[in-house]
Chains A and B, each alone.
Chain A
Amino acid sequence: MTGGNEGEPTEENDGSRFDRLPATASDRTVEGRPTRNAVIEWWVDRFGLDGNAFEPYTFWEKGAGKIWAFAADLESPAAVEGLGMTFLRARQEHWKPTTDAVQRFGRDAERNVVVLDDDEARAFLRGEDTDPNWDGDWGYLIAAHEIAGGIEPIGVGLYLYGELRSQMPKGRQREF
């Protein structure tokens, strides 16, 4: 406790349950917890997505900085095993989108999408670093490829020093 300063966050994150994110900083009761607005803004800023697309969702934290997006609502805190999908890793200098969220929402992204050719896409899916043609921002990008007449996101890549490091989770890596 900080001695009763009104509006100061006084609680700590409890990693065993889901807590709904505060809408704004003034609603915040848990130290360091990102707000709903900041989470949506991050996707809008980074990928040019329409913020309205996230209006129907509630956002939750379980574990430090692990943000989940849920299409309905429950009483907070929620003692359940899963709530919607993992969405974003916050509480660190560079926020990191999840593979699931990039696959679900990334199709409409307007920037920071690197489109890989066939060989690069397969290497990315194997979890390997690639050297795609990219002169845009560094940091977390949506790695995508062309399939069935459209551009489809595969996962998250970290672009640094001229190479794209695949962030495909081990269990999602494939070789074919």
Chain B
Amino acid sequence: MEPLSRYDSLVDDPAAFHAACDRPLPSVVRVNDIKATPDRVRQAFEEAGVEFEAIGWHDGLFRLGEGESPGNSWPFVHGWVYGQEEVSAVPALALDPRSGERVLDCCAAPGSKTTQVAARMDDRGLLVGNDNDLGRLSALRSNAERCGVTNLVVTRQDARNFSLKPFSGEPFDRALVDAPCSCEGTVRKNPDAVESWSLDHVEGVAGVQKGLLGRSIEVTRPGGTVVYSTCTFAPEENEAVLQHAIETHDCRLVEFDIPLQSSPGVTEWKDETFDSSMQRAKRIYPHHNDTGGFFCAKLEVEG
């Protein structure tokens, strides 16, 4: 059986869901506000004859024409744009960081969301980009440098035991947990994600995700915000991870708005039931907005 069929009971239109999963995704770039404006990027693309179109819900995203490669253009060289899947711009919007705050991105590499968060902070305040893999950290550093980010501290820690020691023990105002996952939602650009699917992997990675989210809640101040996101559909990696967090930590899911079509998080899956507040999370299926698949929830730390 095709692994994605296990979600047919959750999806509003399974035929449209499967059809969308089979279509390739266009290349998208996000404008890096630290160095450029959407107008200047538009003008540079026009001068260079790059085919592109605006994306209605976000004025800093451009969809490129077929065969256009985002890395081979002056706007890329100047750090004006970052190649980023359209739907992956959602968690930084949900996090809504402010200039001057202290923000943690615990699984930061290779840096599309980190650089987006830096830009939304106006490159002011303290942004910590953490990852545990040296090769991925080097990609994070070079992407952040190309984007002109100056407020980023790069750390290499296991985020499940993230230490505040380099930060004088002070907690963060906001934390982003864009967790490693089974990546089912990336099937449109990477069909292997589904071909190598196994329930063992889903359950294994869910254990890691619980550790990442739990520690991120612990290092965020009371009243602060934690955003949890994955690019996968499996409730084991989404609602079940959040359910574990609200049972073991002082926190709650809160409502948030995004200008994209989505479905609420689920409250039942297989033999499990989840808290009704899971409906405040958002499931974005590929057929909703013709994007990749995504999951995003926003939590407030209490106590």
CB distance from B72 to the nearest CB of A (A): 5
Q: A147-B74, A154-B78 are in contact. Are A171 and B145 (CB under 8 A)?
A: no
CB distance from A104 to the nearest CB of B (A): 4
Instruction: Decide if A148 touches B153 in the complex (CB within 8 Å).
Output: no
Q: A148 with B47: in contact, given A84-B151, A104-B150 (CB under 8 Å)?
A: yes
For window 81-134 of B, CB contacts with A under 8 Å fall at 123-126
Number of interface residues of A (CB under 8 A): 31
B167, A174: Cβ atoms closer than 8 Å: no
Whether A85 contacts B149 by the Cβ 8 Å rule is yes
Contacts A81-B154, A84-B152 given; indicate if A103 touches B72 (C-beta within 8 A).
Answer: no
Most buried by B among A79, A82, A104, A176: A82
Contact digits for B20-52, partner A, Cβ 8 Å, 1 yes 0 no: 000000000000001100001101100100000
Contacts of B124 in A (CB 8 A): 56, 71-72
Q: How many interface contacts (CB-CB < 8 Å) are there between A and B? A: 89
Of the four ranges (under 10, 10 to 19, 20 to 34, 35 or more), the interface on chain B belongs to 35 or more
CB contact between B47 and one of A74, A84, A147 (< 8 Å): that residue: A147
**Interface contact B44-A148, CB-CB below 8 Å:** yes
Which residues from A are CB-within-8-Å of B43? Answer: 148-149
Asked if A82 and B77 sit within 8 Å, CB to CB, the answer is no
* Cβ-defined contact, B40 with A100, below 8 A: no
Q: Is the CB of A147 within 8 A of B78?
A: yes
Given contacts A79-B166, A81-B155, contact A86 B78 (CB under 8 A): no
How far, in whole Å, are A99 and B85 apart by their CA atoms in the complex?
A: 27
Which B residues, 36 to 73, have Cβ-Cβ distances below 8 Å to chain A? 40-41, 43-44, 47, 71-73
The CA of A5 and the CA of B167, in the complex, are separated in Å by 34
Assembled-state Cα–Cα distance A176/B153 (Å): 33
A152 to chain B minimum Cβ distance, whole angstroms, is 6
| Whole-angstrom CA separation of A148 from B154 in the bound complex | 33
- The smallest C-beta distance from A138 to any residue of chain B, in angstroms, reads 26
The 8 Å CB contact of A72, one of B41, B77, B126, B148, is: B126
Residue positions of B touching A, CB distance < 8 A: 34-35, 40-41, 43-44, 47, 71-74, 77-79, 123-126, 137, 141-142, 144-146, 148-156, 166-168
A74-B168, A82-B137, A104-B148 are known; give 18 further A-B pairs, CB within 8 A: A57-B150, A71-B124, A72-B151, A78-B166, A81-B154, A81-B155, A81-B156, A83-B153, A84-B150, A85-B149, A86-B145, A103-B35, A104-B35, A125-B77, A147-B74, A148-B40, A148-B41, A152-B78
